[in-house]
């Protein structure tokens, strides 16, 4: 009985000691986790995100062991942001999806909203605008009735996505939705005011853009992030440029370019350089205009190279350099020790074997000379090999740059050219059409915008995989119907831009009808042995709009008229085309008014619309 009580007491004591030890270890890990998490927040607030990579893995391991799901999710967000910043977009998407799945598993709605917000950022940079819009809608729905400032932030990014897509009116609506739910005292009001100015400038509403810039609190702006400041002054300079105040625009842009800025702001710097070039060109300073246009070209090239600049490789290079220096220091210390030992040996044998020591010293000297000569020879060989490797690497990088340039001009899904390619060739394309042609009817350039009808319903009903299949087949149909000299661009989402050379307006009508009918009669076959019928709507206009005055309407305004025709086709019927051309009594000196209020001019017959729709168009 006594033995039983003894063993029971001993077992109880052992269990208590073990539980105390486990509790102590768990408490220590909890303290370490709190310490790392506090450091993570500090580094992120200070912008030292790269430093977090040194302890992010250990922080995540501690979070998993302590079942701290929120900390684990935060670690995925931070690492994904770093990966995105340095061009590792695939890793960024993967990490954000990890965070999303983890947030869903614990039922944390706010972290789910933030995961979709980060995914929208990534998709915007990858130019997958439809996905970006789908993702940003989730946090909008979550915050709209819970947190006005957060909801405004989400509306702001929805507006930025539309702005990047070129859907300026939708961008304007999203920005106004955000402004309606916040007060001017909130910090987000500053970002919204600058974004509103950028949208109004894109729409050509210079007066409204200046009004929006006037809403900016300059005291808050001075304490804001560098990118927002650059965007504000860029918008300000653009507003001066559009109102003909070229000197003021150039002065603002030059001041911003003189300030030291991060390489992450190359896009804004390139726009400032282009703005200065346009300003000097308008002032007749063509030499200075060419100088800044050249800088803009270099900055634009640097933007495509920036995503390949892997900072991790640079850190690895610095690490190897430091390691090599440490080895050299150790080698120096080792040589010093050897010299000290040799001196001791020389002192020990000085009195007894002086003559022998001289021979030994002579031999050592000779070996040192031979060793030095051999080292020099090996060093020269190494330098030659290194130079060859550098040349080979340089050639490989040049080839990679060419491949990346081709990739940046090509849409990955449809294998068509994208907007970047179009912007790079449009000026050259317009050279033959900027002077009054001999044959004013046939020597025209037709801009046609083609949009798949109810494409969002296809994605919502069958999924994005089917939507991608439809886009691929649709682009192949268009490619088969056009000539080799015509230019087909994926303009964004389900919208395509077709540029047709040297055709008349009547021929453009026939081409539009052919494209519409071919698409309508085509059966889209899907991977799951299902089929689908799809229609499209088309809007087009000719450049120049007035053959006698080719400079009166620029190509951007012609595309806006084509977009207006597309809207009319969709509003009145779908599976239709609408072309817009100049009427007999069009006002030659009011080009901006004609484009902006095209519906009113169609009603007044200063513009004329043709269509395959049998009933009268509703403007």
Nearest to 424 by CA among 402, 442, 408, 444: 408
For residues 241 and 235, give the distance between their C-alpha atoms in angstroms, rounded to a whole number. Answer: 10
Range of the domain at 360: 328-408
Q: DSSP letters along 487-498, please?
A: EEEEEETTEEEE
pTM for the complete prediction? 0.46
Q: How far is CA 51 from the centre of its chain?
A: 23
pLDDT digits (tens, 9 = 90+) for 346-399: 777 777 777 877 788 888 999 999 999 999 998 888 888 888 888 888 888 888
Condensed to tens digits (0 to 9), the pLDDT of residues 154-188 reads 899 899 899 888 888 998 898 988 888 888 888 88
On whether both 343 and 426 belong to a single domain, the answer is no
Nearest to 175 by CA among 145, 144, 152, 205: 152
248 lies in the same domain as 275: yes
Which of 366, 384, 408 represents a domain boundary (last residue)?
408
pLDDT at 559: 93
546 and 444 in a common domain:
yes
Is 276 in contact with 253 (CB distance < 8 Å)? yes
Q: 303 lies in a domain?
A: yes
Please say if the pLDDT value at position 324 is more than 70: no
With cut-offs at 50, 70 and 90, classify the pLDDT of residue 438: very low
For residues 546 and 553, give the distance between their C-alpha atoms in angstroms, rounded to a whole number.
Answer: 8
Does residue 414 lie within any of the structural domains? Answer: no
Give me the residues paired with residue 229 across strands. none
Domain boundary among 408, 428, 453: 408
For 182, list phi and psi in degrees, rounded to 5. Answer: -125, 170
Say whether both 556 and 446 belong to one domain.
yes
Residue 322 falls within a domain, yes or no?
Answer: no
Tens-place pLDDT, residues 248-268: 878 888 887 787 766 667 777
CA-based nearest residue to 505, from 556, 452, 565, 453: 565
Contact at 8 Å (CB) between 212 and 174? no
Last residue of a domain, one of 219, 240, 270: 219
Q: Which of 522, 540, 543, 546 is nearest to 444 (CA)?
A: 543
Burial class (CB in 10 A: 0-12, 13-18, 19+), 67: exposed
Would you say 53 and 83 are in contact if contact means Cβ atoms under 8 Å apart? no
Name the nearest CA neighbour of 159 among 175, 180, 142, 182.
175
Q: 212 and 238: one domain?
A: no
Residues 6+ apart with CB under 8 A from 351: none
Which 3 state secondary structure label does DSSP give 449?
Answer: strand
Asked if residue 534 belongs to a domain, the reply is yes
| Same structural domain, 430 and 578 | yes
Angstrom distance (rounded) from CA 287 to CA 281: 9
Domain CATH for 570: 3.30.70.270
Q: Is the residue at 1 inside a domain?
A: no
**424 and 373, same domain (yes or no):** no
319 assigned to some structural domain: no
Give residue for tokens 């008349």.
504
The count of domains in the chain is 5
Is 619 within the bounds of a domain?
A: no
In terms of domains, do 115 and 31 share one? yes
Whether residue 203 sits in one domain with residue 185: yes
Let me know the angle formed at the C-alpha of 515 by 594 and 607, rounded to the nearest 5 degrees.
Answer: 15
> Could you tell me if residue 595 is inside a domain?
yes
């Amino acid at each position: 009985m006594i033995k039983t009580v003894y063993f029971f007491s001993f077992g109880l004591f052992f269990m208590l000691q073990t539980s105390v030890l486990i509790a102590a270890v768990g408490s220590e890990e909890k303290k370490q986790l709190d310490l790392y998490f506090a450091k993570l927040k500090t580094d992120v607030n200070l912008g030292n995100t790269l430093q977090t990579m040194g302890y992010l893995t250990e922080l995540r391991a501690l979070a998993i062991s302590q079942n701290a799901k929120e900390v684990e999710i935060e670690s995925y967000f931070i690492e994904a942001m770093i990966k995105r910043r340095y061009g590792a977009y695939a890793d960024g998407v993967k990490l954000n999806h990890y965070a999303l799945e983890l947030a869903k598993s614990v039922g944390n709605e706010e972290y789910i909203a933030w995961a979709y917000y980060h995914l929208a950022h990534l998709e915007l940079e990858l130019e997958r605008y439809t996905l970006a819009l789908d993702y940003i809608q989730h946090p909008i729905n979550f915050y709209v009735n819970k947190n006005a400032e957060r909801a405004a932030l989400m509306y702001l990014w929805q507006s930025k996505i539309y702005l990047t897509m070129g859907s300026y009116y939708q961008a304007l609506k999203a920005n106004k939705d955000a402004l309606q739910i916040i007060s001017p005292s909130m910090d987000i009001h500053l970002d919204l005011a600058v974004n509103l100015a950028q949208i109004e400038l894109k729409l050509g509403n210079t007066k409204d853009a200046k009004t929006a810039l006037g809403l900016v609190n300059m005291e808050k702006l001075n304490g804001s992030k560098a990118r927002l400041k650059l965007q504000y002054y860029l918008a300000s300079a653009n507003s001066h440029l559009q109102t003909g105040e070229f000197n003021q625009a150039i002065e603002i842009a030059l001041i911003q370019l003189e300030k030291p800025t991060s390489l992450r702001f190359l896009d804004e710097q390139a726009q400032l350089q282009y703005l200065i070039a346009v300003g000097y060109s308008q002032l007749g300073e063509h030499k200075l205009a060419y100088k800044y246009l050249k800088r803009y070209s270099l900055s634009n090239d640097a933007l495509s190279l920036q995503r390949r600049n892997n900072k991790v490789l640079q850190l690895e290079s610095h690490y190897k350099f430091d390691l090599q220096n440490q080895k050299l220091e150790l080698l120096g210390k080792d040589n010093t020790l050897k010299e000290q030992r040799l001196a001791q040996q020389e002192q020990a044998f000085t009195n007894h074997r002086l003559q022998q020591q001289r021979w030994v010293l002579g031999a050592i000297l000779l070996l040192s000379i031979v060793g030095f000569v051999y080292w020099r020879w090996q060093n020269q060989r190494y330098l030659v090999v290194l130079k060859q490797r550098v040349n080979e690497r340089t050639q490989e990088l040049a080839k990679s740059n060419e491949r990346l340039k081709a990739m940046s001009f090509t849409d990955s899904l449809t294998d068509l050219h994208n907007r970047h390619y179009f912007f790079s060739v449009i000026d050259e394309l317009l050279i033959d059409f900027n002077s009054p042609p001999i044959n004013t009817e046939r020597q025209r350039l037709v801009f046609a915008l083609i949009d798949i009808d109810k494409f969002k319903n296809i994605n919502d009903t069958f999924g994005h995989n089917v939507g991608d299949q439809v886009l691929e087949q649709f682009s192949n149909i268009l490619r088969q119907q056009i000539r080799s000299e015509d230019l087909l661009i994926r303009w964004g989402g389900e919208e395509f831009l077709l540029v047709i050379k040297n055709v008349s307006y009547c021929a453009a009508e026939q081409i539009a009808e052919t494209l519409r009918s071919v698409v309508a009669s085509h059966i889209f076959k899907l991977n799951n042995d299902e089929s689908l019928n799809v229609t499209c709507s088309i809007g087009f206009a000719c450049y120049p709009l007035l053959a006698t005055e080719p400079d009166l309407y620029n190509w951007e305004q012609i595309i806006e008229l084509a977009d207006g025709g597309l809207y009319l086709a969709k509003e009145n019927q779908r599976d239709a085309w609408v072309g817009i051309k100049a009427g007999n009594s069009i006002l030659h000196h009011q080009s901006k008014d004609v484009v902006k209020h095209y519906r009113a001019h169609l009603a007044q017959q200063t513009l004329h619309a043709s269509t395959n729709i049998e009933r009268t168009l509703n403007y």
